[in-house]
Chain A
Amino acid sequence: MFRIALKMLFRDRAKYAMLVCGLAFCSLLMCQQSSVFCGLMTWTTATVRNIGAPVWVVDAKVEQANEIIPMRQIEVDRVRGIPGVAWAVPLYIGIEQARLTDGSFQNIQLVGLDTGTLTGRPMDMRAGRIEDLRLPNAVVVDQVAVEKFRRKGIKIELGTTFEINDKEARVVGICHVSRSFLGQPYVYTTFDRAMEYAKPSRKMLGYVLTAPIPGVSNEELAKRISSLPGLRAIAKDQFFWDTIRWYIRNTGIPISFGTVVILGVIVGIAIAGQTFYLFVHDNLRFLAAFKAMGAPNSTLAGMVLLQAFSVGFIGYGIGVGLASWFGNTVLAKEQPPFFMPWQVPVFVAGVIVFICAFSALIGLTKVMRLEPAVVFR
């Protein structure tokens, strides 16, 4: 009878198409919006992921990775004095203005890496060598800089020069890193040169990057460093999640995306629930005939459930497929942000199962109450 149930479903083309489209649209909306939300959240942690240090030391008041409260450079030495520290290096991150050769300005995120070790260097160099940062006025720019400069008619290549706060910067490398949340290009240089580029201030140290010696965990080291007055040390993973949680708590982003996801669920329930109800209602007379012919309630329930979950499965597949295609397309351009962790399709599948179960339940209540004698009326 299950084959019969599927034939009844697939051959009622209008309702079948409506059901599949409704569930596909619902899946697409939820999957795409959730993935863009996740993508946006990963952008907020770009600094943490690009630098990749095991433990980050910041001012005690810092709550998330994009909040920089400058510290004194002496904090590096204080951290080095903590037992269990394998190494500790300074990192400068600040927003500066780059002046291009045509006179236009571009905000950049200047990253000053420890001059000796270049800790936190970009791993994916597309042109040049990161070691060349030690050359005079050398900088390495990311793919966003190349793209943004190109839009202004300036082609960035090795040897291209521009100014940062009236001081010359010469491109010695082009790298590919995760985009920053604010979309400003990353420009890498050494910590010492970053001090020259940046506007002078008493406190210019953004972060201290550190790592534990073998046998000490990141968390344990972070705990030890945090005992220093005025400092907060956070393990990489915790810093990543603290940052995401901060954006979820303190911005309207989750509400905005959550609203669309809820809208997707409502649209799915409304379209799929209503259409499936109509489908069952239209077939009620035939289901009663099956019942009169000796089909038990369990068989009829199985038929209705199979029909509901078949459209759910197909709609889900199409929706997630379209969302993946969308993601694949935008990933090439890196905008808008898109990141689909496995939890997203699982979550969407759960919602679709709920919608199908809800739709089937509406139909089932009618089927279970159905008097087979109605076929004689």
Chain B
Amino acid sequence: MSTPSPIAVKVENVVKSFANGDSRTFALKGASLEARFGELLMIVGPSGCGKTTLLSVICGTLKFEEGDVAVFGQELRAMRNGDITRFRRENIGFIFQQFNLIPTLTAVENVSIPLILKGVSTAQAEKHACEVLEKVGLADKYKSYPSQLSGGQQQRVAISRALVHDPRLIICDEPTASLDSTSGHKTLELLQESAVRPDRCVIIVTHDSRIYEFADRIVQMDDGRVVGQFDDPSQLSHA
């Protein structure tokens, strides 16, 4: 029996609500989960169940009211805003649903942003960005603007941007939502191939059941809570 990998992200009984006029709407009602190093974890569930809120809480872009979130052993609640910002810059790579590539920047310029934010010189950052783009098969698209790329290519640029600064946690929000089935499949293949490493944790929020097969583990959410965990994607379909 193999020893389980160390825990990368630990979420315990997190409560998060949003003001809605005079009342409050609870998006998370005591959600708890663990994500381990070397693991590709998918958070699934119906729309409005709190998946994206949980993702935002994990990466420190959203404050929560109750519970604890520890990323690589660091309690987010205890960190100041500036420290959380620095923590994200150093440790987290993002892949967004709408890609969020800057339309006025070329592929290589988009990819180099996380490195520039870390203080790497523009020349060095772009050089490294070119290498990463080459690895994802976009060697001939360095100078292309997002509008000149297909959806799949744009997502590959977004993956390159998430990986370029070698973060320990990759956060993906609906990475296949804007892609067709083939491109979505290829994107997950690429993500599995290039992002999953023993010293890294990948968390994907999705409700695209076609990509469940890529998960090492799946966490199912409903109504602001984690309602199930599955090591085998096929278990989910029977659940």
State the CA gap A3–B55 with chains docked (Å).
31
Given contacts A3-B122, A290-B113, contact A373 B56 (CB under 8 A): yes
Which A residues are CB-close (under 8 A) to B185?
A: none
Are B85's CB and A11's CB within 8 A?
no
Stretch in B40-48, B102-110, B214-222 touching the partner: B102-110
Which A residues are CB-close (under 8 A) to B102?
A: 4, 8, 283, 286
Are B94's CB and A289's CB within 8 A?
yes
Which B residues are CB-close (under 8 A) to A290?
A: 113, 117
Flag whether A134 is at the interface (Cβ < 8 A). no
Are A376's CB and B100's CB within 8 A?
no
Are B96's CB and A376's CB within 8 A?
yes
Are B100's CB and A371's CB within 8 A?
no
Which A residues are CB-close (under 8 A) to B59?
A: 292
Are B55's CB and A295's CB within 8 A?
no
Are B55's CB and A293's CB within 8 A?
no
State the CA gap A286–B105 with chains docked (Å).
11
Interface residues of B in 53-78 (CB under 8 A from A): 55-56, 59, 61-62
Nearest B-chain residue to A283, judged by Cβ: B102
Are B61's CB and A376's CB within 8 A?
yes
State the CA gap A9–B186 with chains docked (Å).
34
Which secondary structure dominates where chain A touches chain B? Answer: helix
Which B residues are CB-close (under 8 A) to A295?
A: 85, 89, 117
B165 CB, min distance to chain A CBs, angstroms: 9
Residue from the list A8, A285, A293, A372 in contact with B114, Cβ < 8 A: A293
Which of A294, A295, A296 is most buried by chain B, counting CB atoms within 10 A of its CB?
A294
Which B residues are CB-close (under 8 A) to A7?
A: 104-105, 109
Which of B82, B87, B96 is most buried by chain A, counting CB atoms within 10 A of its CB?
B96
CB within 8 Å: A-B pair count: 77
Nearest A-chain residue to B91, judged by Cβ: A294
Residue from the list A8, A286, A376 in contact with B55, Cβ < 8 A: A376
Are A1's CB and B82's CB within 8 A?
no
Residue from the list A285, A286, A292, A299 in contact with B61, Cβ < 8 A: A292
Residue from the list A3, A12, A293 in contact with B117, Cβ < 8 A: A293
Which A residues are CB-close (under 8 A) to B105?
A: 4, 7-8, 11
Which B residues are CB-close (under 8 A) to A294?
A: 85-90, 92, 114, 117-118
Are B94's CB and A292's CB within 8 A?
yes
Are A376's CB and B117's CB within 8 A?
no
Flag whether A330 is at the interface (Cβ < 8 A). no
Interface string of A340-377 (1 = CB under 8 A from B): 00000000000000000000000000000001110111
Given contacts A371-B61, A373-B62, A376-B61, contact A293 B96 (CB under 8 A): no
Residue from the list B56, B86, B92, B114 in contact with A376, Cβ < 8 A: B56
Are B100's CB and A285's CB within 8 A?
yes
Are A293's CB and B88's CB within 8 A?
yes
Which B residues are CB-close (under 8 A) to A371?
A: 61-62
State the CA gap A164–B105 with chains docked (Å).
75
State the CA gap A289–B173 with chains docked (Å).
13
Which B residues are CB-close (under 8 A) to A296?
A: 82, 85-86
Which B residues are CB-close (under 8 A) to A372?
A: 61
B112 CB, min distance to chain A CBs, angstroms: 9
B168 CB, min distance to chain A CBs, angstroms: 13
Which A residues are CB-close (under 8 A) to B187?
A: none
A262 CB, min distance to chain B CBs, angstroms: 35
Are B117's CB and A1's CB within 8 A?
yes
Which of B52, B98, B104 is most buried by chain A, counting CB atoms within 10 A of its CB?
B104
Given contacts A4-B109, A296-B85, contact A11 B104 (CB under 8 A): yes
Interface string of A41-56 (1 = CB under 8 A from B): 0000000000000000
Are B96's CB and A289's CB within 8 A?
yes
Interface residues of B in 109-134 (CB under 8 A from A): 109, 113-114, 116-118, 122
State the CA gap A299–B113 with chains docked (Å).
13
Are A293's CB and B89's CB within 8 A?
yes
Which A residues are CB-close (under 8 A) to B117?
A: 1, 290, 293-295, 299
Which A residues are CB-close (under 8 A) to B97?
A: 376
Nearest A-chain residue to B93, judged by Cβ: A293
Nearest A-chain residue to B55, judged by Cβ: A376
A178 CB, min distance to chain B CBs, angstroms: 52
State the CA gap A291–B55 with chains docked (Å).
15
B122 CB, min distance to chain A CBs, angstroms: 6
Which A residues are CB-close (under 8 A) to B94?
A: 289, 292-293, 375
State the CA gap A1–B89 with chains docked (Å).
14
Are B88's CB and A292's CB within 8 A?
yes
State the CA gap A355–B89 with chains docked (Å).
33
B121 CB, min distance to chain A CBs, angstroms: 10
Interface residues of A (CB under 8 A from B): 1, 3-4, 7-8, 11-12, 283, 285-286, 289-296, 299, 371-373, 375-377
19 A–B pairs (Cβ distance < 8 Å), ordered by A: A1-B113, A4-B102, A4-B105, A7-B105, A11-B104, A11-B105, A291-B61, A293-B113, A294-B87, A294-B92, A295-B89, A296-B82, A299-B117, A371-B62, A373-B56, A375-B173, A376-B52, A376-B61, A376-B173
Interface residues of B (CB under 8 A from A): 52, 55-56, 59, 61-62, 82, 85-90, 92, 94, 96-98, 100, 102, 104-105, 109, 113-114, 116-118, 122, 173
